[in-house]
Amino acid sequence: MGICYLYGAGDYYSDDVKTPADTDYVIAVDGGYDFLKGHDIVPDIIVGDFDSIEGKNAKTVISAADIPIISFPPKKDHTDMYLAAKEGIRLGYTDFFIYGGCGGRIDHTMANISLLAHLAAENCRAYLAADGYIITAAKDSSFSISAEGMFGQTLSLKAKENGYISVFSHSDISEGVTILGLKYEAENITLTNTMVLGTSNEFLGKKALISVKRGTLIIICEVL
């Protein structure tokens, strides 16, 4: 399958408009619909509680545009982004890219970083676009970075040579952490979620590998 793109109501940056392939799926997450509409992108579905889309009659306008809607009440246990990601999982997607998930309210940014860890636990790979950075999570697995493209064959974003890469433990303990090919290497170390040891490593323009035997890592990479 392709990539499930989630467009939220947060901040957007220079490279946040993608042309989806036929196998991709685009979900407007509440106010993310306004961004997509402004760039003439029609989402496959809109998910949310409709508290951040512009216009009092947003549902009526969207229905008239013949776009499917999954609506939730404002008082709920989960964020709109989480519910949208769950819809993507239900449809069978395992690769997710989140735009408009940073900036604005810091609690939403932190929630979306936690969502990356949740998706990693669901055997999915998810990426969160920030301002000049990409954030991802790895659980009991590895993550490779190269000059050709840091996200495998499906995504073309590239790590910035001499750019920063930081690695943090999202789980209480991450065991067997190995970092190869970056400026500062480590082998089979343990990180905890109260340590800042993995801050500000650097990409050298060659293939690099970050892996963890047991635990969940949050990886923040500066991109071109």
- Is the pLDDT confidence value at 59 over 90? no
Contact present, 171 and 215 (Cβ < 8 Å)? yes
Looking at per-residue pLDDT, the higher value among 201 and 66 belongs to 201
* Ranges 93-97, 145-149, 202-206: which has the least confidence: 145-149
Highest mean pLDDT among 40-49, 53-62, 188-197: 188-197
pLDDT of residue 64: 53
Q: Model confidence at 103, in pLDDT bands (50, 70, 90)? A: confident
* Paired sense of beta strands 133-139 and 125-129, if any: antiparallel
The predicted model gives 98-125 an average pLDDT of 94
Phi and psi torsions of 38, nearest 5°: -70, -15
Q: How confident is the model at residue 28 (pLDDT cuts 50, 70, 90)?
A: very high
Instruction: Return the residue matching tokens 């969502």.
Output: 115
Domains and CATH numbers, the chain: 1-131 (3.40.50.10240), 132-224 (2.60.120.320)
- % of the chain exceeding 70 in pLDDT: 89
pLDDT at position 153 is 44
| Selected residue with higher pLDDT from 188 and 77 | 188
Weakest mean pLDDT among 2-16, 45-59, 133-147, 195-209: 45-59
Residues 6+ apart with CB under 8 A from 160: 203, 222, 223, 224
**Cα 171–Cα 172–Cα 173 angle in degrees, nearest 5:** 90
Q: What is the pTM of this model?
A: 0.90
Which of these ranges, 50-59, 114-123, 195-204, has the smallest mean pLDDT? 50-59
Name the average pLDDT for the chain. Answer: 88
Mean pLDDT score, 35-59: 79
Q: Write 72-78 long-range contacts (CB < 8 A, 24+).
A: 72/47, 72/48, 73/49, 74/49, 76/49
d(CA 50, CA 151): 32
Q: Say whether pLDDT at 61 is over 60.
A: no
CB atoms under 10 Å from CB of 111, counted, come to 16
How confident is the model over 146-169, as a mean pLDDT? 75
Whole-number pLDDT of residue 52: 64
* pLDDT band with cut points at 50, 70 and 90 for residue 77: confident
